[in-house]
Chains A and B, each alone.
Chain A
């Protein structure tokens, strides 16, 4: 795993900052961070699959939706306790992950992306017409049991979930398994040529991604207290997830987290000044410019800034350049 002391120090610092945030910001800001936390979870989930293996999924809301709808239906329609409904939702989403995986056995590239998009459209239609008494049909469901009340509790729950997901995925990606997944994204044929089963590796990536998506989706619906097909199986929701991962920095763990926070705060902070649709235009422009300027995302910008700061120190005689450079790349 090649873990160093500064890895633990940086994660500890991250957790400490997240834990202290409720003491430092208003409840309104906490509500924004809650949405950022969930978006970060979804972006990490997308990145585990698409950022690593290169199989670009346009159907991620399909997986998130399975998790959210399963838990919502179990708790609201069948009075299943949340503690059982959420694991069941995660398992169901992993089954969905296998369904998404099947096309990946034969196709890749834009064809795979289109097939996954079709999955999202398929479930969008299904939840509206198949058993609307369970799914709530086109209007969705309201009054779903929530896990918390109040901004602070909601924050701690979402932040804990996000940190656990981010840390787990980070550790996983530092194993040989994670390295192999990234290798698939670079050259799948070479990985196969080296004797590894790319089918098993891809299946693992799809199931891991589905696990995180299902977990995030289930907790998300029990935070919102409502669910609507138009909100989940929506192209804007899909693009927000992908843009968060790309703008933050794909194939990293902290990148999607940074991207999610950046996008969520940008939109919400524009709200008082541009309450209408104009803020989406500004948001789109900033995202576009950022991505054109630095395709590797905000994480790379931060890394460059760190390195340039470090270079100045180095010229002043600091001898710890190697370590500092590694620190900036650590997450």
Chain B
């Protein structure tokens, strides 16, 4: 072999090695980089990727993460998805998007057919789209229980606790003017009265920039309702702290997204006692299984800025990315059909004291959920019937107490405290 030939062969070998080394799996993050919920998904994905890379990566390749901010704007979401798909050519997308943002980029997902996992959006309408058009929608997975399942279990809370334990018969809905707020309002209004025996006597819709809630609380009191059902996902701190500072003489529960974060107490200046909210699992005040606790420990060692504790979607992203990569290993890549089949079979059951505590799996395509009587293809597997042995419950109710602690107050299996009204409200 001449020197020239050996040199060329050596160069070719070097090039091949370099090429193999530079081959990588690209994961795209789509979501808001300025919200606690968006950051929870991002950080959950980052930790999962670090752990996977430390174990040798996926398909023999290292995983890299590319971020695309949606700024919680639907059009920016479309641009972000296009950027990930066509500029970055990612293999898989993990989303921490809110409802209308996910709905905005869904047509792009259908076009590009990139495997995509949503960790925050719970809109059952997206699951309906999978039911109606499985072939086009099949790369899409949602590993949070759909809002319909959340509402179904929440109605149980209404019946078991609000109606039977507290004796409340009427409610006034105080709803922030957002897409999420409107949707939850519809579900609660439709289901609370017929199923829990609680009548909706008034609905107050307010703008997200509202900073004086005194007139709204006065109107709520004038309605004669027994309690307030708050639906707030954007600016929950202000309404919560004013409820406490004004000592509104009626109970308030509902959906309060800020209360899902560990910073809620500080954000309200300690004016959060008595606030309760429906929460996907896991949440603040939630007992964690060893695997989830290890994730939280890693998270808190790595990130010193808020959110100091990942929201539920951070857990979803952590386990979801690992499941997506395991599916890729099994399918030999992210080929649409084989990856989807492998992803549909992913199943992680996390136990606490020998009991099923959390489960990351998906409903089968033709599997009918017995209580609602419908299918939930590619939706997180949930359990809305006691004793919740099949999977995680679709939601829990958590409450902040006046001493700054928080606890899960419903359902009984996950309970770490009792539901109560603040000290200034007559029982």
Contacts and interface: CB of A to CB of B under 8 A. Distances in A.
Contact of B71 (A138, A225, A268, A277): A277
A35 interface: yes
B74 A230 contact: yes
B222 interface: no
Contact of A144 (B107, B111, B178): B107
Contacts of B106: 142-143, 225-226
Interface string A293-321: 00000000000000000000000000000
Contacts of A236: 73
A228 B104 contact: yes
Interface in A90-132: 128, 132
A151 B86 contact: yes
Given A28-B83, A31-B86, A228 B68 contact: no
Given A226-B106, A236-B73, A128 B33 contact: no
A237 interface: yes
A141 B103 CA distance: 7
A191 to B, nearest CB: 38
Contact of A143 (B78, B82, B129, B177): B129
A27 interface: yes
Contacts, number: 111
Contact of A268 (B79, B125, B178): B79
B74 A228 contact: yes
Contact of A228 (B69, B100, B123, B181): B100
Interface string B58-85: 0000000001110101110011001100
Contacts of B33: 275-277
Contacts of B73: 230-231, 234, 236
Interface string A169-199: 0000000000000000000000000000000
Contact of A146 (B68, B75, B99, B107): B107
Interface in B4-18: none
Nearest to B101: A228
Question: Which residue, A30, A35, A226, A234, has most C-beta atoms of chain B within 10 A?
Answer: A226
A325 interface: no
Given A275-B68, A276-B69, A138 B100 contact: yes
A137 interface: yes
A87 interface: no
A156 to B, nearest CB: 16
A140 interface: yes
Given A28-B87, A138-B181, A224 B67 contact: no
A139 interface: yes
A27 B85 CA distance: 10
Classify the secondary structure of A's interface with B: helix
Interface in B307-358: none
A160 B104 CA distance: 24
B388 to A, nearest CB: 29
Contact of A28 (B75, B86, B183): B86
A137 B123 CA distance: 13
B34 interface: yes
Contacts of A31: 79, 82-83, 86-87
B178 A231 contact: no
Question: Which residue, B74, B99, B178, B179, has most C-beta atoms of chain A within 10 A?
Answer: B74
A77 B34 CA distance: 35
A222 B87 CA distance: 22
Contacts of A4: none
A71 B75 CA distance: 18
Given A27-B86, A275-B33, A138 B179 contact: yes
Nearest to B75: A231
Contacts of A234: 73
A294 B220 CA distance: 53
13 contacts: A28-B88, A30-B86, A31-B79, A35-B79, A132-B182, A139-B182, A150-B111, A224-B78, A226-B104, A228-B179, A230-B73, A230-B179, A268-B83
Closest 9 A/B residue pairs (Cβ): A225-B107, A28-B87, A138-B179, A138-B182, A231-B74, A276-B33, A142-B103, A228-B74, A28-B86
Interface of B: 33-34, 67-69, 71, 73-75, 78-79, 82-83, 86-88, 99-100, 103-108, 110-111, 123, 125, 129, 177-183
Given A31-B82, A277-B34, 18 more contacts: A26-B87, A31-B86, A32-B79, A35-B79, A139-B123, A140-B100, A140-B179, A142-B107, A143-B129, A144-B107, A224-B75, A230-B73, A230-B100, A268-B79, A271-B68, A271-B69, A276-B34, A277-B33
